[in-house]
Structure 1
Amino acid sequence: MIAFEIGGEMRADRLLSLMMLLQNRRQMTAEELATELEVSKRTIYRDINALSIAGVPVYANGGPGGGYALLDSYRTTLTGLNENEIQALFMLTIPGPISDLGVSRQLKTAVLKLTSSFADEHHEHANYLRQRLHLDAASWFQTDEPEPHLKTVQKAVWQDCQLILSYRRSNSAMSERTISPYGLVAKASIWYLVAATEQGMRVYRVSRIKAVQMTQMRFTRPQDFDLAEFWVGWVTRYKTSLPKYPVTLRIGPDLVPVLHYILGNNAVALVEQSQPDSEGWRIIDYTFERVEEAQAYVLGMGASVDIIAPEELRIRVVKLAKDVVAHYSR
């Protein structure tokens, strides 16, 4: 790492930029450097002199077609990145939801340009990481959702242009609306659009957009809007708003070892916190979203579970069990 004995952080940044320009473009005139760095040619002459004093092998080629250049054998880690930071940089190229936006190739090209000044051994990091780290952003048993309008939505987000959407709601009803797209969020490989509407802020699942038209109408994004902060708050409110159907269950000892496959780790934690009775059964309070969901899960657990409450669930499970027996007794 080269240390410049100069005054001012701005000049240090300019000297590093000058070095990167010469390293990437091989040779540039004082006028070209001055234009690129938005300074005078006199400033460039002083900066070249400062680099020489610092030990950077920069030299001048006189005559037509000449300019300033670095020795061909000269390389420096201009970014000052350490090994861990270089690995983190290459992780940007690991496949993930960002590839849905069609920027994978550009991202890899940008990383390649940024790392062009690294020593040869650092270029092995890309292959090293590919062989040791892979990101699969999809949840288990989750099928890919077609998102044919994602790039149009992304373009509107980038350019602050309003969109006209034909959108399928969760109940399959269709609606058309004009929105101001503020940002895109990828959650477990599913893309969501955060937008402002006449009714306030809304979140749309991109895969449910059936048609989209990007308008020429521009909107003004609030200066205090923070996408990440909004998303955290929205997720919290969404979880709180979900339907809740609380039940009290008595779990048999033979069900405990496989309970995490059925109800997940939250139920297992509840079982572990409860005290077993003399026969090893444990009582837990668990929350489903709907009575139909509770009915299906409880029936699937058979005689290894007892319904303590509510009575409505017990009645529904008994009726469904009788219907199943009648159906298969024909």
Structure 2
Amino acid sequence: MMAVLAPENHGLRLAVRYLVLILVAAIFVLPLLFMVMSSFKPDAQLLNDTSSLRAFLPVGDLTLENYREAFDRAPVRLFVLNSVLVTGVTVLLALIVCSLAAFAFVYMNWRGRDVVLSIILATLIVPFETIAIPLLLIVSKLPWIGLDGIETTWLNTYRVQIIPWIADGLTVFLFVQYFKDLPGELIEAARVEGASWVQIYWRVVMPLAGPVIATAAILKFLLMYNQYLWPLIVVQQEQYRPVMVGLQYFFQLDTAWGEIMAYLTMITVPVLAFYLVLQRAFIASIASQGVKG
């Protein structure tokens, strides 16, 4: 009797599992679907459709007018380019700096290592709002030597949006935890072969760190791309503003909900593209490590 009921129970559990997964997927997909569909609708129709399932369907008077008016109201291309530039450079530098720091914490013995790591991890509990004003006072008077000579402030530049965010405790922590799980025999074998620390970092450790690189990059990308408070404080010139600060253009004078949805749809494309690329890289890295193992 148990052998007969087992397949039915297994099928029921499988059906329940898929139902739960579908519901979870709907929670994440429906807001995006609402955003995209609303970007093609006039404001009056958009507001009327919110009371029914029509809000998620491509029905009614669909046009590209919201996109055209969004480009007329704000320099969308400039804001997207600024965010992609700032985010891309910050993510790249953060992966290098934080992985190097984690490598030193895990594989190199030096005095005060545990204390320094504890201090870095303690910064995770400090809200950014508590250091925003002191950091603003520092960067407003900090000199910089550039191609145009010596500048006396970092305000209204790309570097003020990049450099303060390169190193952070969470990224260092992710790399530290991952490096601790790597086989220590690999490092010992490389040292016996005469490899330097730089060679071990670049040729031994980092090729095996694909999963943590993808994870840290995604988290850092989302943090930087969604920056609002810090750019709002340190950037007053339009040519340096990122996408989230540019969103306030659509709330001036009159609130254009269709244009807002069109703007949100356009600025979401780089996020989805970045996520899909890193997801493929993450899966490929896991697969390659499994084959090598």
Same fold (TM over 0.5): no
TM-score, normalised on structure 1?
0.20
Higher relative contact order (CA 8 A, sep 6+): 2
Q: Which has the larger radius of gyration?
A: 1
